[in-house]
Amino acid sequence: MSSEINAKVKLLGFNEKEITKFTKIFQISRPDKRSYFVANESDAKDIDIVIVNTQSNSGNQQYQIFRDHNPDAAFVSAGTDQSPHHLIGMLLPSRVFKVLDDVNFTKTDTKTPPAPIDNNQNERRAATQTNSPGIPEAESTTDKIAAMKDTASPKNIAQTSNISAYQVLVVDDSELMQKAVQFELDKVDRVLNIDFSFSGEEALQRIKDKKYDVIFMDVMMPKPGMDGFEACTEIRKLPEMKKTPIIMLTAKTSPLDEVKGVVAGCTTYLTKPIKPDNFQNVMKRVLGWLEKFNKKNQSPLASENDNS
Protein backbone atom coordinates (compact mmCIF):
# COMPACT_ATOMS: atom_id res chain seq x y z
CA MET A 1 0.00 0.00 0.00
CA SER A 2 1.45 3.36 -0.96
CA SER A 3 2.46 5.60 1.89
CA GLU A 4 1.10 8.57 -0.11
CA ILE A 5 -2.48 7.56 0.70
CA ASN A 6 -3.81 9.35 3.77
CA ALA A 7 -7.05 7.79 4.94
CA LYS A 8 -9.36 10.22 6.69
CA VAL A 9 -10.96 8.61 9.75
CA LYS A 10 -14.09 9.79 11.56
CA LEU A 11 -14.52 8.72 15.20
CA LEU A 12 -18.04 8.54 16.66
CA GLY A 13 -19.02 7.77 20.24
CA PHE A 14 -15.54 8.13 21.75
CA ASN A 15 -14.44 10.46 24.52
CA GLU A 16 -11.50 12.85 24.21
CA LYS A 17 -9.11 10.44 25.90
CA GLU A 18 -9.84 7.72 23.36
CA ILE A 19 -9.62 10.17 20.45
CA THR A 20 -6.16 11.11 21.70
CA LYS A 21 -5.21 7.41 21.71
CA PHE A 22 -6.24 7.02 18.08
CA THR A 23 -4.44 10.21 17.10
CA LYS A 24 -1.16 9.12 18.68
CA ILE A 25 -1.40 5.68 17.12
CA PHE A 26 -1.96 7.23 13.70
CA GLN A 27 1.16 9.37 14.18
CA ILE A 28 3.39 6.29 14.26
CA SER A 29 5.62 6.22 11.21
CA ARG A 30 4.98 3.23 8.92
CA PRO A 31 7.03 3.50 5.71
CA ASP A 32 5.29 2.13 2.60
CA LYS A 33 2.05 1.61 4.53
CA ARG A 34 -1.28 3.42 4.36
CA SER A 35 -1.39 6.33 6.81
CA TYR A 36 -4.39 7.57 8.79
CA PHE A 37 -5.48 10.79 10.43
CA VAL A 38 -8.45 11.73 12.59
CA ALA A 39 -10.99 14.10 11.08
CA ASN A 40 -11.83 17.17 13.12
CA GLU A 41 -15.02 17.00 15.15
CA SER A 42 -16.88 19.33 12.76
CA ASP A 43 -15.48 17.71 9.62
CA ALA A 44 -17.89 15.29 7.95
CA LYS A 45 -16.76 15.53 4.33
CA ASP A 46 -14.70 13.09 2.27
CA ILE A 47 -14.46 10.57 5.11
CA ASP A 48 -12.79 7.29 4.12
CA ILE A 49 -13.36 5.25 7.29
CA VAL A 50 -15.76 5.76 10.17
CA ILE A 51 -15.05 4.00 13.48
CA VAL A 52 -18.10 3.80 15.72
CA ASN A 53 -18.16 2.85 19.39
CA THR A 54 -21.20 0.63 18.98
CA GLN A 55 -21.63 0.29 22.75
CA SER A 56 -22.26 4.01 22.99
CA ASN A 57 -25.82 5.23 22.38
CA SER A 58 -24.51 8.59 21.20
CA GLY A 59 -22.12 6.84 18.82
CA ASN A 60 -24.92 4.82 17.23
CA GLN A 61 -27.12 7.88 16.94
CA GLN A 62 -24.34 9.95 15.39
CA TYR A 63 -23.64 7.17 12.90
CA GLN A 64 -27.26 7.10 11.70
CA ILE A 65 -26.98 10.79 10.80
CA PHE A 66 -23.45 10.44 9.47
CA ARG A 67 -24.34 7.53 7.17
CA ASP A 68 -26.99 9.55 5.37
CA HIS A 69 -24.36 12.07 4.28
CA ASN A 70 -21.42 9.68 3.85
CA PRO A 71 -22.79 6.45 2.38
CA ASP A 72 -19.43 5.47 0.87
CA ALA A 73 -17.39 5.64 4.08
CA ALA A 74 -16.15 2.21 5.23
CA PHE A 75 -17.65 1.17 8.58
CA VAL A 76 -15.57 -0.21 11.48
CA SER A 77 -17.24 -1.11 14.79
CA ALA A 78 -15.46 -0.78 18.13
CA GLY A 79 -16.47 -2.72 21.22
CA THR A 80 -18.59 -5.28 19.34
CA ASP A 81 -18.30 -7.35 16.17
CA GLN A 82 -21.22 -5.69 14.38
CA SER A 83 -19.20 -5.37 11.18
CA PRO A 84 -16.65 -7.50 9.29
CA HIS A 85 -14.04 -5.02 10.46
CA HIS A 86 -14.14 -4.52 14.22
CA LEU A 87 -11.93 -3.42 17.11
CA ILE A 88 -12.38 -5.23 20.42
CA GLY A 89 -10.16 -4.76 23.45
CA MET A 90 -7.42 -2.26 24.21
CA LEU A 91 -6.30 0.16 21.54
CA LEU A 92 -2.92 -1.34 20.68
CA PRO A 93 -1.16 0.03 17.56
CA SER A 94 -0.73 -3.42 16.01
CA ARG A 95 -4.41 -4.23 16.55
CA VAL A 96 -5.68 -0.92 15.16
CA PHE A 97 -3.47 -1.01 12.07
CA LYS A 98 -4.30 -4.66 11.35
CA VAL A 99 -8.01 -3.92 11.28
CA LEU A 100 -7.81 -0.66 9.33
CA ASP A 101 -5.29 -1.96 6.79
CA ASP A 102 -7.81 -4.64 5.84
CA VAL A 103 -10.50 -2.06 5.07
CA ASN A 104 -11.09 -1.37 1.39
CA PHE A 105 -12.34 2.02 0.24
CA THR A 106 -12.30 4.12 -2.91
CA LYS A 107 -9.75 6.87 -2.79
CA THR A 108 -10.29 9.71 -5.25
CA ASP A 109 -7.63 12.06 -3.95
CA THR A 110 -4.98 12.48 -1.29
CA LYS A 111 -5.64 14.69 1.68
CA THR A 112 -3.27 16.64 3.88
CA PRO A 113 -3.73 15.69 7.55
CA PRO A 114 -4.76 18.51 9.88
CA ALA A 115 -2.35 19.91 12.46
CA PRO A 116 -1.89 17.64 15.50
CA ILE A 117 -4.50 18.13 18.18
CA ASP A 118 -3.69 19.78 21.49
CA ASN A 119 -2.93 16.70 23.59
CA ASN A 120 -2.85 18.67 26.83
CA GLN A 121 -6.31 20.07 26.14
CA ASN A 122 -7.65 16.60 25.38
CA GLU A 123 -6.22 15.18 28.58
CA ARG A 124 -7.73 18.00 30.61
CA ARG A 125 -11.11 17.26 29.06
CA ALA A 126 -10.66 13.53 29.56
CA ALA A 127 -10.13 14.05 33.28
CA THR A 128 -13.76 15.12 33.58
CA GLN A 129 -15.17 12.30 31.45
CA THR A 130 -15.88 8.63 32.04
CA ASN A 131 -14.47 5.95 29.79
CA SER A 132 -16.72 4.83 26.94
CA PRO A 133 -18.03 1.26 27.45
CA GLY A 134 -16.69 0.17 24.07
CA ILE A 135 -13.04 0.44 25.16
CA PRO A 136 -11.67 -1.03 28.44
CA GLU A 137 -10.34 1.42 31.01
CA ALA A 138 -6.89 -0.21 30.97
CA GLU A 139 -4.71 2.16 28.98
CA SER A 140 -2.55 1.13 26.05
CA THR A 141 0.97 2.49 25.94
CA THR A 142 0.07 5.15 23.38
CA ASP A 143 -2.22 7.31 25.52
CA LYS A 144 0.39 8.44 28.05
CA ILE A 145 3.12 9.79 25.80
CA ALA A 146 2.33 13.41 26.54
CA ALA A 147 2.60 12.75 30.29
CA MET A 148 6.21 11.47 30.24
CA LYS A 149 8.69 13.63 32.12
CA ASP A 150 12.10 12.17 31.20
CA THR A 151 14.76 13.30 28.74
CA ALA A 152 12.83 12.01 25.73
CA SER A 153 10.58 15.12 25.69
CA PRO A 154 7.51 12.97 24.92
CA LYS A 155 5.20 15.93 24.53
CA ASN A 156 7.17 16.92 21.46
CA ILE A 157 7.29 13.28 20.31
CA ALA A 158 3.53 12.96 20.47
CA GLN A 159 3.05 16.11 18.43
CA THR A 160 5.14 14.97 15.46
CA SER A 161 4.02 12.78 12.59
CA ASN A 162 7.07 10.49 12.67
CA ILE A 163 6.83 8.73 16.01
CA SER A 164 8.86 5.53 16.03
CA ALA A 165 7.51 2.83 18.30
CA TYR A 166 9.98 0.70 20.23
CA GLN A 167 9.87 -2.93 19.18
CA VAL A 168 9.52 -5.36 22.11
CA LEU A 169 9.80 -9.16 22.05
CA VAL A 170 8.43 -11.26 24.92
CA VAL A 171 9.79 -14.82 25.01
CA ASP A 172 7.92 -17.18 27.34
CA ASP A 173 6.30 -20.58 26.87
CA SER A 174 3.39 -19.51 29.10
CA GLU A 175 0.65 -17.53 27.39
CA LEU A 176 -0.50 -16.37 30.84
CA MET A 177 2.93 -14.86 31.53
CA GLN A 178 2.97 -13.27 28.08
CA LYS A 179 -0.31 -11.53 28.91
CA ALA A 180 1.02 -10.47 32.32
CA VAL A 181 4.03 -8.82 30.69
CA GLN A 182 1.84 -7.18 28.06
CA PHE A 183 -0.47 -5.85 30.77
CA GLU A 184 2.47 -4.11 32.43
CA LEU A 185 3.89 -2.88 29.13
CA ASP A 186 0.56 -1.24 28.37
CA LYS A 187 1.20 1.03 31.37
CA VAL A 188 4.56 2.21 30.09
CA ASP A 189 4.87 5.85 28.99
CA ARG A 190 6.06 5.04 25.47
CA VAL A 191 4.66 3.70 22.22
CA LEU A 192 5.52 -0.02 22.06
CA ASN A 193 4.88 -2.67 19.43
CA ILE A 194 4.87 -6.07 21.14
CA ASP A 195 5.58 -9.48 19.61
CA PHE A 196 5.58 -12.87 21.34
CA SER A 197 7.59 -16.09 21.04
CA PHE A 198 7.07 -19.37 22.87
CA SER A 199 10.65 -20.65 22.62
CA GLY A 200 14.24 -19.51 22.29
CA GLU A 201 14.44 -20.96 18.80
CA GLU A 202 11.36 -19.05 17.65
CA ALA A 203 12.73 -15.88 19.24
CA LEU A 204 16.04 -16.20 17.36
CA GLN A 205 14.21 -16.52 14.07
CA ARG A 206 12.12 -13.44 14.83
CA ILE A 207 15.21 -11.47 15.79
CA LYS A 208 16.92 -12.37 12.52
CA ASP A 209 13.89 -11.07 10.64
CA LYS A 210 13.24 -7.95 12.71
CA LYS A 211 15.23 -5.55 14.89
CA TYR A 212 14.01 -5.40 18.50
CA ASP A 213 14.80 -2.67 21.04
CA VAL A 214 13.92 -4.64 24.21
CA ILE A 215 13.65 -8.39 24.85
CA PHE A 216 11.99 -10.17 27.78
CA MET A 217 13.37 -13.69 28.11
CA ASP A 218 12.01 -16.48 30.33
CA VAL A 219 14.82 -18.45 31.98
CA MET A 220 13.08 -21.82 32.16
CA MET A 221 11.63 -23.13 28.90
CA PRO A 222 10.66 -26.68 27.93
CA LYS A 223 13.37 -29.10 26.84
CA PRO A 224 14.72 -30.23 24.44
CA GLY A 225 14.75 -26.59 23.35
CA MET A 226 17.21 -24.00 24.64
CA ASP A 227 16.61 -22.25 27.93
CA GLY A 228 16.70 -18.49 28.43
CA PHE A 229 20.43 -18.37 29.18
CA GLU A 230 21.26 -20.28 26.00
CA ALA A 231 18.93 -18.12 23.93
CA CYS A 232 20.47 -14.96 25.41
CA THR A 233 23.96 -16.22 24.54
CA GLU A 234 22.91 -16.86 20.93
CA ILE A 235 21.26 -13.45 20.65
CA ARG A 236 24.43 -11.71 21.83
CA LYS A 237 26.36 -13.39 19.01
CA LEU A 238 24.40 -11.27 16.53
CA PRO A 239 26.36 -8.02 15.96
CA GLU A 240 23.25 -5.83 15.89
CA MET A 241 22.01 -7.29 19.20
CA LYS A 242 25.12 -6.88 21.35
CA LYS A 243 23.74 -3.86 23.21
CA THR A 244 20.00 -4.58 23.10
CA PRO A 245 18.51 -4.72 26.64
CA ILE A 246 17.56 -8.30 27.53
CA ILE A 247 15.45 -8.66 30.67
CA MET A 248 15.38 -12.17 32.14
CA LEU A 249 12.13 -13.45 33.66
CA THR A 250 12.67 -15.97 36.44
CA ALA A 251 10.85 -17.44 39.43
CA LYS A 252 14.01 -17.21 41.52
CA THR A 253 17.26 -15.28 41.41
CA SER A 254 19.97 -17.27 43.14
CA PRO A 255 23.56 -15.99 43.03
CA LEU A 256 24.37 -18.77 40.55
CA ASP A 257 21.50 -17.72 38.29
CA GLU A 258 22.69 -14.14 38.36
CA VAL A 259 26.22 -15.17 37.41
CA LYS A 260 24.85 -17.33 34.57
CA GLY A 261 22.77 -14.38 33.40
CA VAL A 262 25.74 -12.02 33.38
CA VAL A 263 27.83 -14.55 31.45
CA ALA A 264 24.99 -15.05 28.95
CA GLY A 265 24.71 -11.30 28.47
CA CYS A 266 21.41 -10.41 30.11
CA THR A 267 20.85 -6.82 31.18
CA THR A 268 18.78 -7.29 34.31
CA TYR A 269 16.24 -9.56 36.02
CA LEU A 270 12.54 -9.48 36.83
CA THR A 271 11.17 -12.07 39.23
CA LYS A 272 7.91 -13.96 38.68
CA PRO A 273 5.18 -13.38 39.61
CA ILE A 274 5.68 -9.88 38.28
CA LYS A 275 5.65 -7.05 40.80
CA PRO A 276 4.23 -3.97 39.06
CA ASP A 277 6.47 -1.46 40.84
CA ASN A 278 9.62 -3.43 40.04
CA PHE A 279 8.54 -3.86 36.43
CA GLN A 280 7.86 -0.17 35.89
CA ASN A 281 11.12 0.83 37.58
CA VAL A 282 13.11 -1.51 35.35
CA MET A 283 11.31 -0.29 32.22
CA LYS A 284 11.91 3.32 33.19
CA ARG A 285 15.65 2.64 33.45
CA VAL A 286 15.76 0.63 30.23
CA LEU A 287 13.76 3.11 28.16
CA GLY A 288 15.71 6.00 29.62
CA TRP A 289 18.92 4.33 28.48
CA LEU A 290 17.47 3.61 25.04
CA GLU A 291 16.57 7.26 24.55
CA LYS A 292 20.09 8.35 25.49
CA PHE A 293 21.75 5.59 23.48
CA ASN A 294 19.75 6.38 20.37
CA LYS A 295 20.66 10.05 20.67
CA LYS A 296 24.25 9.90 21.85
CA ASN A 297 25.35 6.29 21.30
CA GLN A 298 26.34 5.99 24.95
CA SER A 299 27.49 2.85 26.72
CA PRO A 300 24.84 0.16 27.33
CA LEU A 301 22.83 -0.06 30.51
CA ALA A 302 24.76 -1.74 33.30
CA SER A 303 23.34 -5.05 34.44
CA GLU A 304 21.47 -4.67 37.70
CA ASN A 305 18.97 -6.70 39.66
CA ASP A 306 15.51 -5.19 39.93
CA ASN A 307 15.49 -5.96 43.65
CA SER A 308 18.56 -3.85 44.32
**Most confident option among 1-10, 52-61, 101-110, 112-121:** 52-61
Boundary-marking domain end, from 71, 98, 126: 126
CA distance 170 to 69: 45
Whether 103 and 175 share a structural domain = no
Contact partners, residue 198, CB within 8 Å, separation at least 6:
171, 172, 173
What CATH number does the domain containing 243 carry? 3.40.50.2300
Whether 223 and 99 share a structural domain = no
Q: Flag whether 135 is in a domain.
A: no
Whether 177 and 84 share a structural domain = no
Give the pLDDT of residue 67.
85
Q: Which domain holds residue 13?
A: 6-126
Give the pLDDT of residue 260.
82
**What band does 152 get if pLDDT is binned at 50, 70 and 90?**
very low
Compute the Cα dihedral for 276, 277, 283, 286 and give only its sign.
negative
Q: Answer whether 265's CB lies under 8 Å from 246's CB.
A: yes
Indicate if the pLDDT at residue 233 is higher than 80.
Answer: yes
Whether 185 and 111 share a structural domain = no
Measured between alpha carbons, how far is residue 275 from residues 15, 84, 183, 267, 272 in Å? 31, 39, 12, 18, 8
Indicate if the pLDDT at residue 84 is higher than 90.
Answer: no
Instruction: Please tell me whether the overall predicted TM-score, pTM, comes out greater than 0.75 for this model.
Output: no
More confident residue, 4 or 298: 4
Whether 114 and 11 share a structural domain = yes
Residues 161-169, mean pLDDT to the nearest whole number:
72
Give the pLDDT of residue 195.
93
Whether 179 and 269 share a structural domain = yes
Q: Considering the chain, what is the average pLDDT of its residues?
A: 77
Give the pLDDT of residue 226.
92
45-80 per-position pLDDT tens digit? 889 999 999 888 888 888 888 888 888 888 999 987
Indicate if the pLDDT at residue 125 is higher than 60.
Answer: no
Indicate if the pLDDT at residue 130 is higher than 50.
Answer: no
* DSSP codes of every residue in the chain: --TT-EEEEEEES--HHHHHHHHHHHTB--TTS-EEEEPPTT--SS-SEEEEETT-HHHHHHHHHHHHH-TTSEEEEESS--SSSEE-SS--HHHHHHHHHT------S--PPPPPP-HHHHHHHHTTSPPPTTS-SSPPGGGGGGG--STT-HHHHHTSS-B-PEEEEEE-S-HHHHHHHHHHHTTSSS-EEEEEESSHHHHHHHHHHS--SEEEEES---TTS--HHHHHHHHHTSGGGTTS-EEEEES---HHHHHHHHHHT--EEEESSPPHHHHHHHHHHHHHHHHHHHHH--PPPPPEETT-
Q: Flag whether 243 is in a domain.
A: yes
**What band does 127 get if pLDDT is binned at 50, 70 and 90?**
very low
Residues 102-129, mean pLDDT to the nearest whole number:
50
Q: Flag whether 151 is in a domain.
A: no
Indicate if the pLDDT at residue 42 is higher than 50.
Answer: yes
Domain count, the chain: 2
Whether 232 and 115 share a structural domain = no
Indicate if the pLDDT at residue 257 is higher than 60.
Answer: yes
Q: Flag whether 213 is in a domain.
A: yes
Q: Flag whether 47 is in a domain.
A: yes
Measured between alpha carbons, how far is residue 168 from residues 76, 173, 192 in Å? 28, 16, 7
More confident residue, 224 or 110: 224
